[in-house]
Amino acid sequence: MAKTDTPTRQQIELSIKKKEFYPIYVLSGEEPFYIDKISDMIIENALTADEKDFNLSIYYAGDVKMSDVVLACRRYPMMAERQVVVLRETQAWKSMNGVNEKKELEILESYASKPTASTVLVVCYKGAALKSPNITKILSKTIINGKPAGIYYESKKIPEYSIGNHIEEYVRNIGCTIDDKAVAMLAEYLGNDMSHIVKEIDKLKLISPNGIRITPEMVEQNIGISKEYNNFELIKAIAMRDKLKAMKIITYFRENPKKNPTVMTTTLLFNYFSNMLIAHYARTADEHKLMEALRLKSPYALKDYKMGMPNYNATRCLRIIKAIREFDAKSKGIGSQQNEYDLFFDLITKIFYV
């Protein structure tokens, strides 16, 4: 399938909601959340509750061979327009004794060249992209009822800079709203594992009044993030050159090292000053152009950069980035045996006075 013809995840989800199905969906990639989401959407939309009893078959690659799955796909639906066959955990082919992944893929490719029109086959491969150069070509070139036989979708790991967009999208989809600061706090402390983030958001929705809005206070109280002493507030204090507040936060981090590892804070500081350097060289005060240069999707995310730019020119940013690199090396025992939090206090001092 040509790159330009490959549908986006949103287009795939929309076609499923419209009950426009392809005979085959091959879903693979590092981010499992959207693989599961698309698979579940197909099951929910392709069959009614009564039809699922006889027309839904779910297999696991560790328990069944691809040839058996193909046999199931060749059956005709019972008292329904279609049947759905789901094969999960196909990444297990790589590690299973007596299973040849290449042969299993060849069987899948052979079926893809002549699929059963009344069957929707969903193949889920998690942890990496499915390495089959032929499958996308076969799916796009084989025409069933006037359209390609199937879709290959790669669920890529979500970049940290865009995780906020995915959080906001999910919150909208569950009929809720969320404060910008709450988005930032979730993104900062939960990383870019969407499956984990979704579980936490679902918990917050349950305790939200009427399930309407998620606030920073809810995140703080229920996910164990201190609203006052966190990386988000540290960046803000540094941007404002509020050394007293910054040192209070670092002291709190030192007293709670398991919840506040220096490696996470160092990464955020490095990204902050690297992005500020980009903002300086963008040579524009236009918010939209700055957001584009920094790959930000929300004006709220731009606030800390606009706050910090008058206080840290490009030259200072370069010096600070160098200091962060030196701290990173020393904290790993390269050229220093000091406690990492002692080193971190030194780093914060350098940031203010370098």
287 pLDDT band (50/70/90 cuts)? confident
Q: Of 192, 223, 254, which residue constitutes the final position of a domain?
A: 223
353, with CB counted inside 10 A (0-12, 13-18, 19+), is exposed
| CA pair distance 256, 261, nearest whole angstrom | 9
Task: Tell me the average pLDDT across 39-46.
Answer: 97
Task: Give all strands (DSSP E) within 161-319, no chain letters.
Answer: 177-178, 213-214
**Tell me: the pLDDT tens digits for 204-222?**
988 887 778 898 888 877 8
Whether residues 325 and 348 share a domain: the answer is yes
Indicate the residue among 171, 193, 223 that finishes a domain: 223
One domain, residues 179 and 137: no
Structure-block tokens of residue 211? 């399930």
How many domains does the chain fold into?
A: 3
Sign of the Cα torsion 43, 48, 54, 55 reads: negative
Element at 264 (helix H, strand E): helix 262-282
pLDDT tens track for 299-354: 777 888 999 999 999 999 999 999 999 998 888 878 666 788 888 899 999 999 88
- Final residue of a domain: which of 154, 169, 191? 154
The CATH number for 49's domain is 3.40.50.300
Q: Tell whether the model's pLDDT for residue 245 goes beyond 90.
A: yes
* DSSP 8-state symbol, 337: -
In this structure, the number of other CB atoms found within 10 A of the CB of residue 317 comes to: 23
Calpha distance 325→318 (Å, rounded): 11
19 and 134 together in one domain: yes
pTM of the entire structure?
A: 0.70
- Tell me the CATH number at 289: 1.20.272.10
Q: Residue 151: what pLDDT?
A: 94
Residue 190: which CATH number? Answer: 1.10.8.60
For residues 205 and 275, membership in a common domain is answered with no
**Secondary structure of 36-93 in HEC code, one letter for each residue:** HHHHHHHHHHHCCHHHHHHHEEEEECCCCCHHHHHHHHHCCCCCCCCEEEEEECHHHH
How many residues comprise the chain?
354
In the chain, the amino acid numbered 326 is E
**Could you tell me whether strands 147-148 and 143-144 are parallel, antiparallel, or unpaired per DSSP bridges?**
antiparallel
193 and 146 in one domain?
A: no
- Same domain? 20 vs 131: yes
**Are the C-beta atoms of residues 49 and 212 closer than 8 Å to each other?**
no
Q: Contact at 8 Å (CB) between 91 and 62?
A: no
State yes or no: pLDDT of 1 exceeds 70. no
Closest among 26, 139, 23 to 84, alpha carbons compared: 23
Do 150 and 236 lie in one domain? The reply is no
Compute CA distances 62 → 25, 29, 96, 128, 152, whole Å.
19, 18, 7, 17, 22
Same domain, 13 and 97: yes
Residue 93 backbone zone (phi > 0: left; psi -120 to 50: alpha; other: beta): alpha
Strands 24-29 and 56-60: unpaired
Q: Are residues 129 and 9 in the same domain?
A: yes
Domain, as residue range, for 168: 160-223
Shared-domain flag, residues 147 and 48:
yes
Asked if residue 147 and residue 18 are part of one domain, the reply reads: yes
**Residues 150 and 164 both lie in one domain:** no
Residue 348 is which amino acid? Answer: I
DSSP 10-32: HHHHHHHHTT---SEEEEEES-H
Closest to 305 (Cα-Cα) out of 254, 330, 271: 271
User: Residue 176 and residue 207: Cα distance in Å, rounded?
Assistant: 12
pLDDT at 4: 38
CA–CA dist 20, 38 (Å, integer)? 13
How far apart CA 124 and CA 105 sit, in angstroms, is 13
Q: What is the pLDDT of residue 49?
A: 94
CA distance 198 to 166: 10
Confidence class for position 261, pLDDT limits 50, 70, 90 = confident
